[in-house]
């Protein structure tokens, strides 16, 4: 009996010890927040204050040229973003109806195909459209050969048209997901009741469906517009610096035509509008409270001839629009066209693996040449460092946010603020804050961590919140130490979420272009920087190497996407 009492007391003591560790007081919670907060204070808020201090100086406002450049860049940014958003809805809305209302063979595969571009790095998207529509693209070569050099406009669009197409390719899945999910949740009884009262299809859409979908439509439009508003890599690689959006102008005024006060002013303008769009998006996405549908699916196979024609037409359009750029990139990397001349100047065309072989060769023998394979090694090293740093900072923040108090409710928006800043702005802030210290290559993974950290926290937080407290208490009552409890209870539950968060950070770092372009040292290029360099240089060999590197980056990214999706499916099971 005495042994049992002692055992119960010992178990109670261990339980209280466990609770002191896993349910810490406020002071301990503050200590948990210190690593991510100090990181953000020094590497985000401090550079932000540098940008603000340089913006609100007489030099930024007294020069009338600065105001003119800022106004022109702002107007063109709004123009291209608005036009891109409209075109995205022209493709996204019919696609949302297709996926939400109809069942057909290959539906899940087609839906996954439309989601792939959103995860691809911007340099891969730009390289893909160059591979198919660029001056050395497949369509230009085929149309020149077949049509006696009379190239149709549709096969050789202007750079601005390519930018718009790339934006639609990149963001159409946002409309498909947000509006499609809202459509699938609509109660069909509402539409049926309207039809019974004599309303035709147009009046049902105008008086029933559209009012219920309005918050989803506005939320999707704001999100697409925000991504197009902050687009940088697609515009720079497809159009060059002549298309003066805010992002491109910041880059040009920071590095090409140095005018740091103007670059800082443009950064603040961009940040203010991005925050406005973010607040509006949050407001409307919270209003997405449409009528819930029954438990059974509201989608059905197409029945009438019109419905079958709609399903076939939209499906074929999506397959062509999304699959053609993804296939053209590896195809162009393995194809030598008539425009690509060999080493001796002879005209060659046909399939070849030379572009991949050239990635390992310094053919010019330059002391300053960095082989593309070294850029791949740099990218993998930066991505590995980003994963370690993002997990080390993300775990404490996610652990605290799993059981939020007033402190977490205040700090949560602060920890997400880097999402509202563009990568180019982060790079400019680093330039203004750290100067010569940027010669150290470890500033690149720090910038990548700032971008990846919110995604890591949001991935880990639900997993940490889902751990039943009774399992921890039971393990502690059985004599397990806090570390043992974490190893036997927490880690098995968190392992898949950790893998998913690490893959997110790895993918973000691997394809990051904006901040890297401003911070990267010439001797330490990454894969996106190497692709940009090859695309900006003349010659078929340079173009072919850019296609080869973009293909490799696309394959790595798609493998990461598959790993993330498989991890999520395992969690669901």
Is there a single domain that holds both residue 190 and residue 301?
yes
Name the nearest CA neighbour of 167 among 82, 66, 286, 62.
82
Sequence-separated (6 or more) residues with CB below 8 Å from residue 171: 84, 88, 118, 224, 227, 228
pLDDT of residue 4: 46
Q: Among the ranges 100-104, 194-198, 490-494, 521-525, which has the highest mean pLDDT value?
A: 100-104
The verdict on 169 and 289 lying in the same domain is: yes
Number of domains in the chain: 2
Say what the pTM is.
0.81
> How far is 181 from 244, CA to CA, in rounded Å?
36
Domain end, chosen from 514, 548, 568, is at 514
- Range with lowest mean pLDDT among 19-23, 256-260, 422-426: 19-23
- Asked if residue 415 is part of any domain, the answer here is yes
Q: What is the domain-level CATH number for residue 447?
A: 1.10.3720.10
CA atoms within 13 A on the CB side of 173: 15
Section 180-198 average pLDDT: 72
Residues 197 and 307 in one domain: yes
Both 272 and 377 in one domain: the answer is no
Residue 388, pLDDT score: 92
Of 140, 141, 130, whose CA–CA distance to 239 is shortest? Answer: 130
| The pLDDT of residue 33 | 82
Q: What percent of the chain has pLDDT over 70?
A: 79
Name the domain boundary from 338, 360, 392: 338
H/E run at residue 351: strand 350-351
Q: Are residues 280 and 328 in the same domain?
A: yes
Residue 570 lies in a domain: no
Let me know whether 76 and 52 are in one domain: no
Q: What is the residue range of 443's domain? A: 1-56+370-514
Higher pLDDT, 270 or 420: 270
Examine the domain organization and report whether 485 and 381 are in the same domain: yes
Residues 323-340 have a mean pLDDT of 80
Same domain, 383 and 459: yes
Specify whether 315 is located in the same domain as 383.
no
- Are 8 and 44 in a shared domain? yes
Domain-located, residue 374: yes
**Distance set, CA 426 to CA 49, 118, 423, 530 (Å):** 12, 22, 5, 21
Tell me, yes or no, whether 170 and 296 share the same domain: yes
> Half-sphere exposure of residue 231, counting CA atoms within 13 Å on the CB side?
38
Asked if residue 530 is part of any domain, the answer here is: no
User: Using 50, 70 and 90 to split pLDDT, how confident is the model at 9?
Assistant: low
| pLDDT average, residue stretch 12-29 | 54
How much is the average pLDDT of 356-367? 64
Average pLDDT over residues 483-502: 79
pLDDT in tens, 414-456: 787 787 778 888 888 888 888 777 677 788 899 999 988 888 8
Residue 357 belongs to some domain of the structure: no
């Amino acid at each position: 009996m005495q042994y049992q009492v002692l055992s119960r007391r010992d178990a109670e003591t261990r339980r209280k010890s466990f609770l002191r560790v896993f349910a810490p007081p406020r002071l301990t919670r503050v200590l948990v927040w210190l690593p991510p907060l100090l990181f953000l204070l020094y590497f985000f808020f401090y550079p932000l204050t540098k940008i603000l201090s340089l913006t609100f100086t007489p030099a930024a406002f007294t020069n009338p040229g600065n105001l003119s450049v800022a106004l022109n860049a702002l107007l063109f940014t709004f123009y291209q973003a608005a036009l891109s958003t409209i075109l995205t809805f022209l493709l996204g809305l019919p696609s949302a109806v297709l996926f939400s209302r109809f069942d057909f063979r290959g539906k899940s595969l087609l839906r996954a195909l439309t989601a792939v571009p959103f995860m691809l790095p911007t340099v891969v998207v730009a390289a893909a459209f160059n591979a198919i529509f660029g001056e050395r693209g497949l369509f230009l070569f085929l149309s020149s050969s077949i049509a006696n050099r009379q190239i149709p406009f549709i096969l050789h669009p202007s750079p601005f048209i390519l930018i718009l197409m790339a934006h639609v390719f990149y963001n159409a899945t946002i409309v498909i997901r947000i509006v499609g999910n809202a459509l699938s949740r609509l109660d069909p009884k509402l539409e049926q009741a309207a039809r019974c009262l004599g309303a035709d299809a147009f009046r049902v859409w105008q008086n029933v469906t559209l009012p219920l979908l309005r918050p989803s439509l506005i939320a999707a439009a704001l999100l697409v517009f925000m991504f197009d508003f902050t687009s940088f890599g697609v515009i720079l690689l497809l159009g060059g610096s002549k298309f003066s959006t805010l992002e491109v102008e910041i880059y040009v005024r920071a590095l090409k035509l140095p005018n740091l006060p103007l670059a800082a002013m443009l950064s603040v303008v961009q940040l203010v509008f991005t925050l406005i769009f973010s607040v509006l998006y949050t407001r409307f996405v919270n209003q997405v409270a449409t009528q819930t549908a029954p438990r059974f699916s509201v989608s059905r196979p197409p029945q009438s001839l019109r419905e079958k024609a709609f399903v076939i037409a939209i499906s074929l359009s999506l397959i062509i629009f999304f699959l053609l750029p993804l296939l053209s990139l590896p195809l162009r990397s393995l194809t030598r066209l008539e425009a690509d001349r060999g080493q001796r100047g002879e005209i060659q065309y046909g399939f070849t693996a030379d572009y991949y072989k050239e990635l390992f060769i310094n053919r010019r023998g330059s002391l300053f040449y960095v082989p593309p394979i070294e850029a791949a090694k740099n990218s993998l090293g930066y991505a590995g460092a980003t994963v370690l740093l993002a997990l080390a900072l993300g775990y404490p923040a996610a652990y605290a946010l799993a059981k939020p108090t007033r402190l977490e409710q205040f700090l949560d928006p602060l920890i997400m603020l880097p999402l509202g800043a563009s990568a180019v702005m982060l790079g400019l802030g680093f330039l203004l804050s750290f100067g010569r210290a940027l010669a150290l290559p470890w500033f690149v993974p720090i910038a990548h961590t700032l971008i990846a950290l919110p995604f890591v926290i949001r991935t880990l937080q639900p997993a940490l919140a889902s751990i039943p407290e009774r399992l921890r208490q039971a393990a502690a009552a059985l004599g397990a130490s806090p570390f043992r409890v974490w190893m036997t209870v927490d880690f098995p539950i968190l392992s898949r979420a950790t893998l998913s968060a690490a893959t997110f950070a790895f993918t973000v770092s691997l394809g990051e272009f904006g901040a890297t372009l401003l911070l990267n040292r010439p001797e330490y290029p990454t894969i996106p920087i190497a692709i940009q360099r090859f695309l900006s240089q003349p010659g078929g060999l340079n173009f072919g190497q850019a296609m080869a590197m973009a293909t490799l980056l696309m394959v790595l990214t798609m493998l990461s996407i598959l790993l993330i999706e498989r991890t999520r499916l395992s969690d669901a099971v």
